[in-house]
Amino acid sequence: MTELWAAGGRSLRLLCVVGGVSVAGCRHHGAPFQPVLTLTIAPSDTTQTSPGSELDSARDVLQRRLSGALRGDVAVVVEAGALRVDLADGRDLETAKRLMNHRGAVAFFDSPVPLAIGARTPPEAKSLFASDDFAKARVAAGALQGWVLEATLTPEGAAKLEQYSAAHIDHALVIALDGAVLDAPIVRSVLSGGKVQIDVSSEESARDLATYLKTGPLPFTPVLTAERLASVQEPGAPQAPAFQLTLRERLHAIAHSVPYDAAAIVVAVVVIVLVFRSRRDPQSRRKRNQMLGAVAVLFLVQLLWLTL
């Protein structure tokens, strides 16, 4: 019986290694970009057709925006008068949707009177700075509560800030996103440090704002028109109507975003440990049954991972 059990243990270890290698082969370094989710956005104004140059500009902005904020690879292409966004990591879905649904136009303008947070900006307001006036942006926790975005301006941007503040003491420097006021600090002295601090309620909002500052705004106000699994529609096919992904589809995207090679290694190590531990007491039927049950469950999970 002991020899039979030892032979069974060797067979299980061989099966584990073969299974691990096969699963690791499904995803390896240098593999071509394989999207798991596809999102589509288009200009919200459907009465006018956006020119190709505007869509190309939007594609470049959105590619920079998402590449710097998502954990997985992303590809943005112009398709049928809209922008198609392919995501390689299903865990990026909510972040991508949030960043895609905003034009991302951050404006700084003067107001002789304070404006309430959330108020709409006056139509005649013109931003004092452009996107290229900002060198970097850093997010940090606030001293008492909330979060702070500290934006560092370029030398040219710092000169603009100093000139503005010198001429507008006791005015409000209003900071707005897509026409809504985020903050409106009062200028009390000349701002010569080349830095602007913006109070934001959440870390997520602060990081999104930093992304918009770094990458600039889209040339139009976007609207999400479709979200789907990449496998359900061939490239170039007519666009499906907008819908929300089901729970199963979200799980599918997340499962196929986790590196298969890492999953295979974990499963292989667990199975080998179970085999060796059980061999210490080969006469125990209960331990053998527990080990075999665990092996069966692990390989079932591995199989479902590949076929989900």
Check residue 279 and give its pLDDT: 59
CB atoms within 10 A of CB 102: 18
Rounded distance between C-alpha atoms, residue 171 and residue 168, angstroms: 5
Query: What contacts 14, CB < 8 A, 6 or more positions away?
Result: none
Check residue 149 and give its pLDDT: 92
Check residue 47 and give its pLDDT: 67
CATH architecture of 37-102+219-246: 2-Layer Sandwich (3.30)
CB atoms within 10 A of CB 107: 19
Q: What is the DSSP letter of 227?
A: E
Quick one: fold of 106-203?
Gyrase A; domain 2 (3.30.1360)
Please give the chain's pLDDT, 308 residues, in tens.
Answer: 555 445 555 555 555 444 544 444 444 444 566 888 899 999 988 766 667 789 999 999 999 999 989 988 999 999 988 999 999 988 899 999 999 999 999 999 999 998 999 999 988 888 999 888 999 999 988 877 789 999 999 999 999 999 999 999 999 999 999 999 999 999 999 998 899 888 888 899 999 999 999 899 999 999 999 998 876 444 444 444 444 556 655 565 555 555 555 555 666 666 666 666 655 555 555 666 666 677 677 666 666 655 55
| Widest pairwise Cα distance in the chain | 93
Do residues 69 and 99 touch, judged by C-beta distance below 8 A?
yes
Check residue 200 and give its pLDDT: 87
Do residues 165 and 189 touch, judged by C-beta distance below 8 A?
yes
Check residue 17 and give its pLDDT: 47
Check residue 9 and give its pLDDT: 53
Check residue 193 and give its pLDDT: 85
Check residue 53 and give its pLDDT: 86
Q: What are phi and psi of 279, to 5 degrees?
A: -65, -20
* pTM of the model as a whole: 0.67
Query: What contacts 258, CB < 8 A, 6 or more positions away?
Result: none
Domain boundaries, the chain: 2-27+259-307, 37-102+219-246, 106-203
Check residue 265 and give its pLDDT: 64
